[in-house]
Every structure is written in structure tokens, then in C-alpha cells.
Amino acid sequence: MANSGNAEQGRSVVVRWRMLAERRLNYLVTLYETGRWKVYYGEPEFLKIVQEARAALKTWEQLAPPDPVQDKPVEVAIAQAENAAMLPSPFTQLPSADGVEAKDDLRKA
């Protein structure tokens, strides 16, 4: 049992490195598309960096192939966890007190 947890943690680390390599390559592509790369790099240096980023991404993809179901951005995972953990409010089912009723669930605001 403990080994499966370690294997899962190891995969998680490798997946995060792969995602970081993807972000780095996307950043370099954005630099190229906007022309900002010229401010920071000369052409031969920039081409070398892009080639290194592509090679790194290819290596990480071999170690941890992309899985669209499991590999989602942190923001998406957090939002899904919050929605799954949200239970209905117990106050919406209470009878009104002095004519006051709970019309809106303020947790969703």
C-alpha cells in the first residue's frame, strides 16, 4: 500500500515538471509571437533556448504522457473540489421565523 502512494506521489512530481516544461515552451512561443524575444536574446541564443525547451518537454512527455482527465490546471482542480464539497445549507429548509425566509444561498455569491 505504501508503495502505491509513493508511486502516485512520484508521478505527481513528474507530471508537474512536464507541465512546467509546457508552460516554459508556451512562454517562449509568446515571446516569439510578440517580438519581445529581441529585447532579451539574440537570434542564435533564442533558437537554442527554444530547442532546449522542446527537447525538455519531449523528455518529460515520455516520462509522464499527458492525460487530459488527470492533468488539469490547479485552478480547475480547486474549483471542482469546492463545488463537490459544497453541501446544501441547512438554513434553507428551516421554517421562517417572524416572516423571514432564506431566499438566497449566500455561499454561492
Total number of domains in the chain: 1
How many CB atoms lie under 10 A from the CB of residue 11?
A: 14
For residue 109, being part of any structural domain is answered with no
pLDDT of amino acid 1:
44
CA-wise closest residue to 27 among 58, 60, 55, 49: 49
The answer as to whether 79 is a domain residue is: no
Distances (CA, A) of 13 to 9, 29, 60, 95: 6, 24, 11, 50
> pLDDT class for 74, splitting at 50, 70, 90?
low
Q: CA 48, CA 108: separation in Å to the nearest integer? A: 49
DSSP state of 88: P
Considering the domain boundaries, does residue 54 fall inside one? Answer: yes
Which pLDDT value is given to residue 102?
60
Query: Which range of residues forms the domain containing residue 36?
Result: 7-63
Whole-model pTM?
A: 0.56
